[in-house]
């Protein structure tokens, strides 16, 4: 603001001292010219289209910091920063000292963690002063002030036990009715107890001197991210049983409590090394999560996490940019390239009808999502159901059912550990037993072994279905109860799975969003050959046998919790991606949210996929969707034969409960009526869309994380918006993006496709679904320099996200105009002129 003010005042002073009348005339001219300048972007546009409230809300969510003057609604900014810095650790320390920051350490190669003591611990305003100090330094390539996230521990609060006697560890040596347990004792009898395996608990600390943990404690697998030191001991809180930091110590005892020492019980992998990362005792930021997930990758084998976003039935949240990079880094480089094992609790939101597919940690392909079964094989009241859960272990149940025995604070023990918080460490312990039998297993090998060995016997729900390869699977229990002995047997005879492939199939963009009224159902279909046609007919590059399947959906709704989603595979398996969430009254909808299912594991990828959307008691606008198929091109080890070859089709259909009958029973009480043909705006063939999508070879590496949506509003140039793998770690790649629709509106640049051919000459409009669909792309133009003129730009395919919102030339410019008026620079300009007027009047009349 000051440069505008002083420039205007200096000129005004020189004129007013000689010609006061002319000074007023000059000042009015300046003000009028600035008014014309601010409106010039839309002066040539007439009759702009009205953007609906739903679309405007979507745009408002992507407003940049400058349009809100440093404040972002609902966010709590912390005194921590993450920055990518050239020159290594010494350069990072020098910059910290130069600008008054405290250097906290390296998050991952090339990215460093800072803290500033003079910044408030929690503030709704971003500290732009300190942000810009780092941003404008020549050695800094990217910087971000960290935002505090809500992360809750997934245990169930129960009062301390009154019974001083210790019950037997029923989940290991007895099981429920019929004698079913997790089959651990036979593994111990064969000599496997977790030797040579290191497990780390990501939580609120670990009592390192606990007599049942001390024999197996590993300081190299431990760190305190909250206090930035090497001691993970918890902070002791008295007289507050709900916030006491006992959670991590309890989880650690389930994995590796020592055996035969007459203290408490024993861990599943009682000879494994155990460590803890204290990171939940305070504000949790993206940088803190990233440091925790990436701690000592070459030393730690298994990371166990029993926490996540709030399980309140209305939150949709997941890992941030740095945490996603940490997951990828662990998968690609952890355990010497075999991949770190991330075990995650699926959540305790069952009381609120929450769905763990709205949790970006449990629905990641990189994590092994684990839920709970009660002592009697029923669904616990707290358990969430979703299609991303792989398997379950035993945990607490309802009134009168037993909990889990483990270590507790102050050198004590407990038999009341509970929730999915207790399930994840048990699963981590079984994974440690498996790795002790075969340490060469990759992260994908272990997921295969869990699915192949899990037992549905003794687990009671009416949700069991049989998928296309004959496996029973449930939204409540996944593939069943984890079986330690069966996993070790498979591990000893395992052959590494083939290279992972990925096939992306994008639905052609509609001319306008598909509107759905109350209690409406729509079936959207996509066809694919597993990306075989995009790889010159080479079957070794296509997805033939499936692993994970993600449906990325973008929609708006006046009540998000009413929306339900199903996905049907070409082999007839129906997986419910999203169930009703009565407490979710949000109107934001979903923006390319990945709903993941593991129910199609082993099935054939080629054929017709069907996404069924039910609106419930809400109005829904479906903007777009796509499929990500992960799998292999050749038959994996121990793959069963397809059930089409074993059973007649009539039997398979009766077992699977066709989609129409499921909707009749579960949605509208028998009144559902579904169209039999695909909706008109999804053609099977398009001049710019290949139904087969595309395939990518990853050489046993996972695909990159989903792209971050581009920013909207006044700052539509976004550097450092992507990442690439470089030697020694990940580097944030400098890219400059500008929206092609915006260029056409402002500079009348004719739309072109990637090869430079005009869309008009190609015979289809780029704004109504005719443009090519690029995987993960938004039709954004990459420039080598942000200062290129429009004539130098080679336009890319039209912006897919703008197409989905039906933002044409007029509405795009209207949005930019509203953003410009909110910009800080415009505010500074008008403020300076007000001060200038006041100053001239002082010069004239005082």
Q: Which of 346, 387, 418, 421 is catalytic?
A: 421
Residue carrying the six token digits 């092994």? 368
Angle between helices 286-293 and 321-333 (to 10 degrees): 10
Query: Under DSSP, is residue 761 helix (H, G, I), strand (E, B) or coil?
Result: coil
Contact 797, 771 (CB under 8 A): yes
Query: Under DSSP, is residue 512 helix (H, G, I), strand (E, B) or coil?
Result: coil
In DSSP terms, 406 is beta-bridged to 414
Residue among 160, 432, 169 nearest 275 (CA): 432
Query: Under DSSP, is residue 684 helix (H, G, I), strand (E, B) or coil?
Result: coil
Q: In whole angstroms, how far apart are CA 335 and each of 305, 341, 697?
A: 18, 9, 21
In angstroms, how far is CA 292 from the centroid of its own chain?
Answer: 16
Q: How many CB atoms are located within 10 Å of the residue 381 CB?
A: 14
Q: Active-site residue 203, yes or no?
A: yes
Q: CA-to-CA distance for 621 and 248, rounded, in angstroms?
A: 43
Token couple for 56: 């405007």
Contact 541, 633 (CB under 8 A): yes
**Alpha carbon distance, N-terminus to C-terminus of the chain:** 25
Q: DSSP letter for 780, please.
A: E
| Cβ within 8 Å of residue 766, ≥6 positions away | 751, 753, 759, 797, 798, 803
Q: CA-to-CA distance for 828 and 838, rounded, in angstroms?
A: 16
Contact 263, 438 (CB under 8 A): no
Q: CA-to-CA distance for 274 and 584, rounded, in angstroms?
A: 38
Query: Under DSSP, is residue 489 helix (H, G, I), strand (E, B) or coil?
Result: helix
Token couple for 484: 């330690």
Q: Is 209 exposed, middle or buried (0-12, 13-18, 19+ CB in 10 A)?
A: exposed
Q: Active-site residue 376, yes or no?
A: no
Q: Which of 130, 210, 247, 475 is catalytic?
A: 247
Q: Which of 58, 113, 155, 203 is catalytic?
A: 203
Q: CA-to-CA distance for 456 and 288, rounded, in angstroms?
A: 37
Q: In whole angstroms, how far apart are CA 835 and each of 35, 268, 827, 831, 843?
A: 17, 73, 12, 6, 12
- Residues that are catalytic: 203, 247, 421
């Amino acid at each position: 603001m000051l440069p505008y003010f002083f420039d205007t005042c200096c000129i005004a002073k020189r004129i007013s001292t000689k010609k006061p009348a002319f000074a007023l005339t000059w000042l009015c001219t300046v003000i009028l010219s600035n008014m014309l300048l601010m409106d010039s972007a839309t002066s040539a546009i007439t009759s702009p289209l009205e953007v609906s409230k739903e679309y405007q809300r979507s745009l408002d969510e992507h407003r940049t910091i400058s349009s809100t003057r440093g404040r972002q609604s609902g966010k709590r900014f912390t005194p921590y920063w993450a920055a990518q810095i050239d020159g290594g650790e010494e350069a990072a320390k020098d910059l910290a000292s130069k600008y008054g920051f405290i250097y906290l350490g390296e998050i991952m190669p090339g990215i460093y963690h800072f803290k500033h003591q003079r910044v408030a611990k929690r503030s709704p305003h971003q500290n732009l002063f300190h942000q810009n100090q780092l941003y404008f330094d020549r050695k800094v390539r990217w910087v971000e002030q960290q935002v505090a996230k809500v992360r809750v521990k997934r245990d169930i609060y129960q009062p301390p036990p009154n019974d001083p006697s210790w019950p037997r560890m029923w989940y290991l040596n007895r099981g429920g009715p019929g004698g079913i347990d997790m089959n651990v004792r036979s593994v111990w009898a064969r000599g496997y107890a977790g030797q040579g395996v290191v497990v780390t608990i990501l939580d609120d600390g670990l009592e390192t001197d606990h007599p049942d943990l001390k024999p197996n404690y590993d300081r190299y697998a431990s760190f305190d991210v909250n206090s930035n030191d090497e001691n993970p001991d918890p902070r002791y809180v008295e007289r507050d049983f709900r916030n006491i930091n006992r959670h991590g110590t309890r989880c650690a005892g389930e994995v590796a409590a020592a055996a035969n020492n007459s203290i408490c019980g024993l861990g599943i992998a009682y000879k494994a090394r155990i460590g803890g990362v204290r990171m939940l005792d305070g504000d949790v930021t993206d940088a803190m999560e990233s440091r925790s997930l990436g701690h000592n990758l070459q030393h730690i084998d298994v990371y166990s996490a029993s926490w996540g976003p709030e399980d309140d039935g209305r939150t949709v949240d997941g890992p941030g940019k740095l945490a996603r990079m940490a997951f990828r880094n662990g998968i690609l480089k952890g355990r010497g390239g075999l991949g770190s094992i991330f075990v995650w609790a699926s959540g305790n939101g069952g009381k609120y009808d929450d769905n763990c597919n709205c949790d970006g940690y449990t629905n990641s392909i990189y994590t092994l999502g684990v839920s709970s079964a009660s002592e009697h094989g029923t669904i616990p009241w707290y358990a969430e159901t979703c299609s991303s859960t792989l398997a379950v272990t035993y945990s607490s149940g309802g009134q009168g059912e037993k909990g889990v025995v483990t270590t507790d604070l102050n050198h004590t023990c407990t038999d009341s550990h509970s929730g999915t918080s207790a399930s994840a460490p048990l699963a981590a312990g079984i994974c440690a037993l498996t790795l002790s039998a075969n340490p060469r297993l990759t992260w994908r090998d272990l997921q295969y072994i869990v699915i192949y060995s899990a037992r549905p016997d003794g687990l009671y729900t009416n949700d069991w279905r049989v998928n296309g390869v004959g496996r029973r699977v449930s939204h409540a229990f996944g593939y069943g109860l984890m079986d330690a002995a069966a996993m070790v047997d498979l591990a000893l005879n395992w052959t590494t799975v083939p290279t992972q492939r990925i096939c992306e199939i994008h639905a052609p963009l509609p001319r306008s969003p598909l509107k759905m009224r109350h209690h409406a159902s729509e079936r959207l279909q996509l066809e694919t050959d597993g990306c075989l046609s995009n790889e010159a007919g080479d079957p070794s590059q296509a997805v033939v046998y499936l692993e994970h399947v993600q449906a990325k959906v973008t929609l708006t709704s006046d009540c998000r919790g009413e929306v339900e989603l199903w996905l049907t595979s070409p082999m007839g398996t129906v997986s419910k991606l999203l169930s009703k969430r009565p407490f979710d009254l949000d109107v934001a909808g979903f923006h390319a949210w990945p709903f993941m299912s593991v129910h199609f594991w082993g099935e054939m990828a080629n054929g017709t996929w069907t996404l069924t959307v039910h609106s419930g008691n809400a109005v829904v606008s479906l903007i777009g969707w796509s499929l990500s198929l992960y799998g292999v091109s050749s038959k994996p080890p121990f793959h069963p034969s397809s059930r089409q070859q074993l059973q007649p089709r009539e039997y398979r259909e009766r077992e699977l409960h066709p989609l129409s009958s499921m909707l009749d029973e579960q949605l509208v009480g028998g009144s559902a009526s579904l169209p039999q043909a695909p909706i008109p705006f999804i053609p099977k063939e398009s001049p710019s869309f290949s139904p087969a999508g595309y395939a990518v070879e990853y050489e046993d590496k996972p695909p990159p994380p989903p792209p971050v949506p581009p920013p909207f509003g006044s700052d539509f140039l976004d550097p450092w918006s992507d990442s690439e793998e470089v030697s020694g770690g990940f580097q944030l790649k400098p890219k400059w993006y500008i929206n092609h629709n915006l260029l056409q509106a402002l500079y009348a640049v004719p739309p072109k496709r990637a090869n430079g051919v005009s869309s008009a000459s190609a015979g289809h409009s780029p704004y109504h679904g005719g443009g090519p669909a690029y995987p993960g792309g938004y039709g954004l133009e990459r420039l080598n320099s942000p200062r290129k003129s429009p004539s130098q730009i080679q336009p890319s395919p039209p912006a897919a996200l703008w197409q989905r919102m039906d933002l044409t030339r007029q509405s795009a410019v209207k949005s930019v105009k509203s953003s410009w008026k909110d910009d800080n620079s415009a505010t500074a300009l008008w403020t300076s002129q007000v001060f200038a007027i006041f100053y001239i009047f002082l010069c004239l009349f005082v």
